[in-house]
Structures are given as structure tokens and as C-alpha cells.
Amino acid sequence: MIDIQYSPEVAEARAEGRPLVALESTIITHGMPFPQNVETARRVEAEIRAHGAVPATIAVLEGRLHVGLTDNQLDRLGQARDVAKLSRADFAACLARGGDGATTVAATMIAARLAGIEVFATGGIGGVHRGAEDSFDISADLHELAKTPVTVVAAGAKAILDLPKTFEVLETLGVPVIAYGQDMLPAFWSATSDMPAPLRMDSAAAIAAAARMRAAMGLDSGQLVANPIPAEAEIPAEELRPVIEQALAEAEAQGIAAKAVTPFLLGRILELTGGRSLESNIALVLNNARLGAAIAVELGKTRS
């Protein structure tokens, strides 16, 4: 078995059987600039605690898998440079080589399963990139959702992606996509879209019950809970569309590819929106943390 380093807070929660919510670390190293990244990480952790669960931020530090970070570790990660962006393909290699790595959605799901954590709250999942019919650029997050039994709470897929193709792939892979409290899927910075949700649930208890039923049926995939950004924090899709198109065009012109695409696009959209995208990103992550905590609490009530 892999040696997992639990923070004191997470170790205590595990010993007491308290609900845990996993958090990724790529949002810290690749998703936001310093110091907003560390400030936001602490706010997200505080939000989870305020709603009855315990946060477990996941990262690889000096070749050791950490589930839960201390304040010093979080500060170090938030200011680190050249931190690997880990997914299923390179997670084990980073551990074996003694490196530092931040976990994507896929890697966080793997680590959460290893640590026995059933819920993971994030910003948005990866998916099918625009132009994937030529580049074949499809995030490993989608296949991880199909094989790892963790409930992932996100504001849908990142809006820079080809959203219809992303949700088509999830349907093909048999991943339940549940819109929380509305009939249409959210689109990350935008609370709604023109895509009907395959499933709708209106309570954390219903989402927890669905997870329990899937486990009882021996269905090993996770489930994606698409939680809309609060209306007061959203950027309407029609306003974002030209901004995203400009950022995509610049990425193509500069030859940005593979793992560098998403950080480049998010950074450029931050500039083009005058910082509004970062404010919206923070709001949606906090919102997902609240729902993730509520689901974890409900799952804790039914844990055998």
C-alpha cells in the first residue's frame, strides 16, 4: 500500500469517523495567481469546516502523497514554481521520483479513493477541448469519472471546453451528470446554458442516496454534480463568448498545447475580463465547497 501522509486535522477526522471533502491542488498552483490562490484555498477549507465537514487538500510534496496540508505546506505550495500538474498518467512517476506535484481532478479522485474519501469539491472539470477532432485533446478527468467511485462537485466543465462534446463523452462512459437545483447544466462562470441536464436533484441527501445506490449495485464510476455558480457572481455566457474565442485564437497562434492550454486560457481570460473571471472562480469554488460538505455529511449518516 502507498504511504499516505495525513495532516493532523485529517488524521483526527478519520479516527473519529467525521465527514471529509477532498480538494485538488492544481487550482492553487495553476489556476490562480499568488496570493489569491492561498487565500482562496484557506477560504474554501474554512467553508467546508463551517458546513460540518473536514477539508483534505491533496498534493505530492517531495515524493509523498499528502491528504490534508498544514498552513506551512499550503504556503509553500502556493508560492512554488515548476510544480508538476499531475493526472493519472504521471501521478505514480512523481511519487516514485520524489517530486512535487499538484493534483488535477483525475489525480485527486485517485487519491481520494485511496484515502477513503467519498466527496471531492472543485471548480470545474476538464473535458473535450475545442478542436479535439484534430488534436484529440481530451482530459483524463472524463475517464477517471467513469472508473473511480467519488462524487465530484463542480460548476460543470470549464467553459473554455467544447461543452456539448464533453457531456456526450460522459454519457457514453456511463457517468451520471446531476444538475443541482435546476433543469439546465451550468457552464462554469455562467449559471446556466442551453444544455438540458440528464439528471436533476434538489438536495444533498438525494445526491448521497444516489451514490449509495450506485455502490450497492457495484457500479464503480463516480458521479458529477453540476452546481451552478451563484447568480450574483456569474458572467453571462453571451458576454464571455467573445472573450473565450479571443483567448483560444491567441493560444492557437502561439502554439500553446497539451497541459499548458488550460492555464494559458484561464490566465488570458482573467486579463480580458479585468479580473472578473477570478472573482467568479472564487465564488463558484466556495459554493461547491458548501454543497460538497453537505453531501459528505449526508453520506456520513448512511455509512455502514
pLDDT tens string 146-173 = 999 999 999 999 999 999 999 999 999 9
Please list, in sequence order, all residues whose beta carbon lies within 8 angstroms of the beta carbon of residue 123, skipping any fewer than 6 positions away. Answer: 27, 31, 154, 155, 158, 188, 281, 284, 285, 288
Q: Is 85 annotated as a binding residue?
A: yes
pLDDT tens string 9-43 = 999 999 999 999 999 999 899 877 788 899 999 99
* pLDDT at position 132: 82
Residue appearing with cell numbers 483524463? 140
Q: Is 141 annotated as a binding residue?
A: yes
Helix (H, G, I), strand (E, B) or coil at 181: coil
pLDDT beyond 80 at 203 = yes
Query: How confident is the model over 279-291, as a mean pLDDT?
Result: 96
Residue appearing with cell numbers 453537505? 294
Query: How confident is the model over 64-75, as a mean pLDDT?
Result: 97
pLDDT tens string 122-144 = 999 999 988 888 788 899 999 99
- Annotation says 158 is catalytic: yes
Please report the domains of the chain, with CATH numbers, ordered by start residue: 4-301 (3.40.1790.10)
List 64's β-bridge partners, or say none: 61
> Choosing from 9, 118, 158, 234, which is the catalytic residue?
158
> Choosing from 9, 24, 144, 298, which is the catalytic residue?
24
